[in-house]
Amino acid sequence: MSKDTLFIALRTGWVMRMAGDLRVVLGDGLIATQALAVARIRLTKRLSVTIFAKGPRSRGNGFLPFKGGALRVAIEAGAPIPQFVVAGTRRAMVRGEPA
């Protein structure tokens, strides 16, 4: 599950579409709700769902609040929730540049 703008990128977008990744349009609550519903169905079928939870970028090095819907769906489905961090993306994906 990822923001829709990543699906536009030539290489990553193709891979994400082929993998059946769920597209979320930031600011569109209906599409986000539909994506979470599909994620819930996949989790109840014991299929893996990867969600790159993110909040808006901070101006410094800290974190801003995340949305809790994806976490709630995983808890309700009884799915394991492994946690990991991807560091260095600020340099890899510069704000305002294409993915």
Helix (H, G, I), strand (E, B) or coil at 23: strand
CA distances from 25 to 6, 30, 35, 47, 69 (A): 10, 9, 10, 23, 14
Q: Rounded distance, CA 63 to CA 51, Å?
A: 17
pLDDT in tens, 29-72: 888 888 889 889 989 999 888 877 666 666 766 666 777 788 88
pLDDT at 93: 63
Determine which of 44-58, 68-82, 83-97 has the lowest per-residue pLDDT on average.
83-97
Neighbours of 38 (CB within 10 A): 14
Phi first, then psi, for residue 48 (nearest 5°) are -75, 140
pLDDT for 24 beyond 60: yes
